[in-house]
Structure 1
Amino acid sequence: MSQSAPTREVARRVFATEFNDATFTFKESDDERAPVYSLLPTGERANRVFIVGTLTETEDVGEDSEYWRGRVVDPTGTFFVYAGQYQPEAASALRDLDTPSYVAIVGKPRTYETEDGSVNVSVRPESITEVTADVRDRWVVETAERTLERVEAFEDEGNEYARRAEEEYDLPLARYTEGAIEALESLDEEESVEQPA
């Protein structure tokens, strides 16, 4: 087998509600370099995610060195993004960006078990880019489409990640269908506010 460079995983579009529910992670092999996947409750694995939303808050929560936390809000909820010395570009973006502003983020899902046993899910960003409202709106539409496609494919018997999600999560899929529809409706509401009658 030739040592080819590992291909970068496709970044999944996912809304905050579903992302924050994706508390189960796994690897497909025992190789220590094997990618870690987050299991999305709609039956898809995600090693990388692509999110767009409003950066509402940034804070340096590091003790010895800079470690930036950002809150990014989409129509369904909030993502938490953390970047430190190993993500210098993302960290400086969090340091320099004004809030509120629209941002597009590609990053890896990270899970962290708290002392009380609950699991927090966050994004470790590879890149953070300021974007326009149009880009944000397009992301909402496309993410809603992807979410509804995953829900539709969930019942397919051969969908191994859906079967796994059934085992790992006790979550109604309707939650994500409704979230996607509400996210689309929120765009219509914004447009009607912007267009004076």
Structure 2
Amino acid sequence: MEIRHFRTHNERMELSGRIFARDLSSARHTIDSSEDRDGSYVVTPTGAWCRRLFVVGAITEQKGSGDVIWARVADPTGTFRVTADWQSPDALETLRYIEPPAFVAVTGRAVLIGSGARANATVNAEALCAADRTARDLWVLATADATLDRLEALKKCADERTATARRLYQTTDEDIRDMAGMVRTALASIRPDISVGEITPIIGRDLLLAALEDKGGSRGIGVEDAIAVGVQSGLSARDARVALEELLAAGECYQPASGMIKLI
């Protein structure tokens, strides 16, 4: 399943936080890092200190062209604003192949533009791939656990970071109960039979080969269409191109004409 693939993307990068869309969209403050020069943290009302995020949701709207595309990605609590630009060309190209509505998994930078009531939070995509409802539900479970842990720490004012978050947002016990209600709302959206199964890496070449088996006619399928099939199956655009090259090299397919691919 797609969740296996996007998990490998996420593991290549530094640890990514999991927060719900309502939490991020309510963020109004950033804190500069005193430990390194890798950018400031976005501090959210639940006490999350975010620099990189891992998000799974449904694209409901997508706009832009050229070097910048932005999308609205919805979870059960609200909407993330996700952007992809020339600085992450694979994420940008992958997003071009995905048409709303569709589930996606995104790893990216949390950015807060402006301050106070006019602050707007964005996830700048660094890696992106198609996902499915199971992946979304598993993400909700993991994000709910992380959020409830933060709320418990926030209630106890357990450390310096939670104390700072409470001070910044002047958080009350009623606020904490309201945020716990947000978690309950998110959990109510998942299927009752969802469970965490074994997560194993998926080989892109095998995934693309299976996806292409019923595609194309006697002439085969166009290269760009083959890449699109790979993206819709859960590969990034770059990984889909690599997988196609591997299939050609292995003799699993050939090019009957320029720009066309046909399975053996």
Return the offset for 1:157.
4.1
Partner deviation per Cα, 1:113-146 (whole Å, 9 max, x = no partner): 28x9610001001111111211111001111111
Where does the alignment leave 5 or more consecutive residues of structure 2 unmatched? Answer: 1-11, 195-264
Q: Note the 1:81-160 alignment, pairs <5 A.
A: 81-113=82-114, 118-160=118-160
Q: Distance in 2 between matches of 1:166 and 1:126?
A: 30
Q: Distance in 1 between matches of 2:120 and 2:71?
A: 15
| Structure (1/2) with the larger strand percentage | 1
Return the offset for 1:168.
1.1
Give the corresponding residue for 1:42.
Answer: 46
Q: Which has the higher contact order (CA 8 A, sep 6+)?
A: 1
Counterpart of 1:38 in structure 2: which amino acid? Answer: V
Counterpart of 1:164 in structure 2: which amino acid? Answer: T
Q: Distance in 2 between matches of 1:187 and 1:157?
A: 30
Equivalent pair of 2:17/2:54 in contact (CA under 8 Å):
yes
Give the corresponding residue for 2:17.
Answer: 12
Counterpart of 1:175 in structure 2: which amino acid? Answer: D
TM-score (norm 1): 0.82
Partner deviation per Cα, 1:95-122 (whole Å, 9 max, x = no partner): 11021111111111111128x9610001
Return the offset for 1:11.
0.6
Return the offset for 1:28.
2.2
Counterpart of 1:26 in structure 2: which amino acid? Answer: I
TM-score (norm 2): 0.62
Instruction: Find the structure with the greater CA-based Rg.
Output: 2
Give the corresponding residue for 2:69.
Answer: 68
| Structure (1/2) with the larger helix percentage | 2
Where does the alignment leave 5 or more consecutive residues of structure 1 unmatched? Answer: 1-6, 192-197
Give the corresponding residue for 2:262.
Answer: none
SS of equivalent residue, structure 2 residue 156: coil
Distance 1:162 1:78, change over 3 A: same
Counterpart of 2:102 in structure 1: which amino acid? Answer: S
SS of equivalent residue, structure 1 residue 58: strand
SS of equivalent residue, structure 1 residue 93: helix
Partner deviation per Cα, 1:6-26 (whole Å, 9 max, x = no partner): x95421110001011122111
Q: Distance in 1 between matches of 2:128 and 2:179?
A: 25
